[in-house]
Amino acid sequence: MLRRLLRAVAVGALVLPATALSAEPPKLILQITVDQLRGDLPTRYYDRLGDGGFRYLWERGVVYRNAHHAHANTETIVGHTTLATGAYPSGHGMVGNLWFDRESGFTTYNVEDAAYPLLTKGADVDEDTEIDPTQRAARSEGRSPAAILVSTFSDELRSSTNGEAKVVGVSVKDRGAISMAGHSGTAYWFSKASGEFVTSKYYLDEYPGWVTKFNEARPAQAFANTRWTLLHDRDSYLFGDSDDREWETDVAGFGRTFPHAFGDGTSRYFTTWLTLSPAGDRLVLDFAKEALVNEQLGSDEVTDYLSVSFSSTDYVGHVFGPSSLEGEDNILQLDRTLADLFAFVDEHVGLDNTLIVLSADHGGPDTPGYLNSLGIPAGYVEPESWDKEAAITRIKERFGIKDELIATYSHPYLYFSTDVKNNRKIDQQALEAAVVEELMKFPGVSLAVSSTALRKGNAADTPLMRAVKHNFHAKRSGDVFIVFEPNWFINDFEGLIVASTHGSPWNYDTFVPIVFAGAGLEPSVIDRRVLTVDIAATLAAYLGIKAPSGAVGNPLREVVGN
């Protein structure tokens, strides 16, 4: 306890932990990120939740019921890195799952890094089995956190303990694991191509024996010849009579109705189907358990860190929508997965010795089909056709542009072609303004903002514009930022048609849960608006260490004390 107090004073901590005078620091920080867990979903089905999962958090934790991301592009890497760093994308640099790199002339996948290939050969992204088309832009199988421009909380934990703190991040998605493990931890993720958990040479030269043993047991094959079936009787479900809706996506024969069969394990889509169901989260849970035991997390007086990012809610949301029978059953099964994780942590570390924080990288919209059925306007937009529009043609004629004006649209940014950017005869500011003016006339577009306006601070000071500014990074952001109308979005990603897509600044995408529990915290429910950038600052203040280098959030007083 004395060491903790002295450490807090030494780093100039202004806020001491609420338990600093009465307890030792936690043995383990368990940070859970549920991909696309909109803030209302855990309580939407609360009457059918068990006792040890969401209910443990909501009834025994500090629950923030009005928590939001404050940046405009609510995508996976953006939200995960914000949770990890306490910085906005303008600071941490991860402005989107993809961005166009003008130096190389190629679109960049956020955590790709050719310098650090995967340890497992043949585990790179297989386009035939990948439900996440953003990874297809990666030109290398290598992965690292090099593109994250600031430190994470886990980095600061390692630094404050002279490297003694153990840090592990686990997820189905590479970006879900890498962002949270930071620059100094170790990240593992699930390879759909190999059916194993993998990492890159950035982290390790070879796998620990326990990882090799886990993979040799072929964990994915345990789901061969099984099906995703409903957890409860169909009549008990809110969406029990809504199992087959025309706007849902049938991914390679996985179907739109229960039960969803995984097949015999030989299909090239087998591992993809697993991630489209609660099975993906179970695989992550099983690996996380092995990591906790074999890396001896929480086994000594130095606080360790385990990040577990569950991705099935995101995939189910994309394919079926959150307001679907699949979406409902997935939440109920995730509840059991969380209960299993908490019971395991309690057995091996003790929940009183563990500080848990749960949040989400983003929320998610309902499908236009579902909303339309209720009389709510919603639909899809097609940016790939914009360069063919008469208005864009007129702009090209006005500025003497003979070739392509638009190099790419990488959500939410429109990038002008390199030839246009390098043409000194073109007034770039005037061009941006002209494109913005015309884009604002397109169906489904709510707002278009030029990068020049953001860079010079000429944009209006509104909540929406502040969210756009928080997403702007001069070297990575495009020439025009586009915000679609509420409930309008793109559903065609390189030929993959999905039911719904997140990535907007609207409440359904920014609204996420924030809950802290364990470690002797007193239960409470807080209704004031808080931000996801506050999480990293809160964890740092709780331990009395310095906040991550780019952190802009404030420690939450209900967790760290007044």
Q: Which residue range forms the structural domain that includes residue 126?
A: 2-365+528-560
Strand-strand pairing, 354-359 and 28-34:
parallel
Alpha carbon of 346 to those of 251, 289, 317: distances in Å?
Answer: 38, 12, 31
Judge if 297 and 401 occupy the same domain: no
> What's the confidence (pLDDT) of residue 131?
62
Number of helices (H), then strands (E), in the chain = 21, 22
Which residue type is seen at 267?
Answer: S
Q: Is residue 372 part of a domain?
A: no
- Write down the pLDDT at residue 388: 73
**Residue 244 and residue 137 in one domain:** yes
CA Rg, the chain, in Å? 23
Give catalytic status of residue 76 as yes or no. yes
Query: Is 352 within a domain?
Result: yes
Task: List the alpha helices (DSSP H) in 242-375.
Answer: 270-275, 278-294, 312-320, 325-348, 368-373
Residue 104 counted as domain residue: yes
325 and 352 belong to one structural domain: yes
Domain membership of residue 512 (yes or no) is no
User: Are residues 543 and 428 part of one domain?
Assistant: no
519 assigned to some structural domain: no
On whether residue 449 sits in a domain, the answer given is: yes
- Which of the listed residues 431, 455, 486 is the one where a domain comes to its end? 486
Question: Does the residue 498 lie in any domain?
Answer: no
* Per-residue confidence in pLDDT tens, the chain, 562 aa: 333 443 343 333 334 444 443 468 999 999 999 999 999 999 999 999 999 999 999 999 999 999 999 999 999 999 999 999 999 999 999 999 999 998 888 999 999 999 999 999 777 655 444 567 667 678 889 999 999 999 999 999 999 999 999 999 999 999 999 999 999 999 999 999 999 999 999 999 999 999 999 999 999 999 999 999 999 999 999 999 999 899 999 999 999 999 999 999 999 999 999 999 999 999 999 999 999 999 999 999 999 999 999 999 999 999 999 999 999 999 999 999 999 999 999 999 999 999 999 999 999 999 999 999 999 999 998 877 777 778 889 999 999 999 899 999 899 999 999 999 999 999 999 999 999 999 999 889 999 999 999 998 888 889 999 999 999 999 999 999 999 999 998 876 555 678 999 999 999 999 999 999 999 999 999 999 999 999 999 999 999 999 999 999 999 999 998 6
CATH code at position 195 = 3.40.720.10
What are residue 260's DSSP bridge partners? 228
Q: Which of 19, 33, 76, 82 is catalytic?
A: 76
pTM above 0.85, yes or no: yes
Whether residue 428 sits in one domain with residue 313: no
* 142 falls within a domain: yes
- The answer to whether 210 and 139 are in contact (CB under 8 A) is no
Q: Is 35 helix (H, G, I), strand (E, B) or coil?
A: coil
Name 298's Cβ contacts closer than 8 Å, sequence gap at least 6: 27, 28, 292, 304, 345, 348, 349, 353, 354
CATH number of the domain bearing residue 432: 3.30.1360.150
What total number of domains does the chain contain? 2
Burial class (CB in 10 A: 0-12, 13-18, 19+), 561: middle
Residues 343 and 396 in one domain: no
66 touches 533 (CB < 8 A): no
Gap between the Cα atoms of 489 and 507, Å rounded: 14
pLDDT for res 36 = 98
